């Protein structure tokens, strides 16, 4: 077939698409709904749905398709069980950031990091999503805007607000 390279029914195309998009989708869904294991299940289900409908969804539409399907799955689960944003065992310290400070300093930092994670968990959903996509996934405001179909300006406002909220929650240390 001539359009084989563009078809998500093509195994190779599908595999590559999965590899390049599954991780960010999983993170995005986690930031939105608060449970990383559940987010991984949702990613599985969204991609299975894509495979089952591959004849109808071309490669160029596939990205927005999986984001829509996954978000809807997340919403329908959240309707039944309200999940508090979980970060224990999920959000960890960057491995490359090991330095040799004194033990006291690290103890204080640990306390601070705990406070920071708590504050992030308590952010409103949209602020948290934007903040973590920017800080953990290192996405630009433009890339984040494209994921959720809003303007760059809207993302900038959310980012600004997220920082104000975090500052308020953390207080003076």
Closer by beta carbon to other proteins, 11 or else 60: 11
Environment class of 67 (CB within 10 Å of its CB; exposed 0-12, middle 13-18, buried 19+): buried
Minimum separation from the CB atom of position 47 to other proteins (A): 6
Cα angle value 27/31/37 (rounded, 5°) = 60
Rg of the chain over Cα atoms, rounded to whole angstroms, equals 19
Q: Does 126 bind other proteins (CB under 8 A)?
A: no
| CB neighbourhood size of 77 (10 A) | 16
Residue 66: closest CA among 139, 8, 141? 8
Q: Does 26 bind other proteins (CB under 8 A)?
A: yes
Q: Is 58 helix (H, G, I), strand (E, B) or coil?
A: strand
Q: Does 104 bind other proteins (CB under 8 A)?
A: no
Q: Does 52 bind other proteins (CB under 8 A)?
A: yes
**Residues near other proteins, by CB under 8 A:** 9, 15, 18-19, 22-23, 26-27, 30, 36, 40, 43-45, 47-49, 51-55, 73, 76-77, 80, 82, 84, 86, 88-95, 97, 112-113, 116-117, 120, 131, 134-136, 141, 153, 155-157, 159-161, 163-164, 166-167, 170, 172-173
């Amino acid at each position: 077939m001539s359009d084989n390279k563009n078809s998500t029914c093509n195994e190779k195309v599908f595999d590559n698409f999965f590899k390049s998009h599954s991780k960010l989708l999983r993170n995005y869904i986690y930031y939105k709904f608060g449970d990383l294991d559940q987010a991984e299940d949702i990613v599985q289900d969204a991609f299975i749905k894509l495979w089952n409908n591959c004849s109808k969804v071309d490669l160029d539409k596939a990205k927005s398709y999986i984001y829509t399907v996954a978000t809807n799955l997340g919403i329908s689960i959240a309707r039944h069980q309200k999940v508090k944003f979980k970060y224990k065992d999920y959000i960890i310290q960057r491995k490359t950031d090991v330095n040799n400070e004194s033990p006291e300093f690290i103890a204080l930092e640990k306390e601070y990091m705990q406070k920071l994670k708590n504050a992030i968990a308590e952010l409103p959903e949209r602020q948290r999503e934007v903040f973590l996509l920017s800080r953990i996934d290192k996405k630009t405001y433009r890339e984040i805007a494209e994921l959720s179909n809003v303007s760059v300006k809207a993302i900038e406002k959310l980012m600004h607000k997220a920082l104000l909220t975090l500052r308020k929650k953390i207080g003076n240390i």
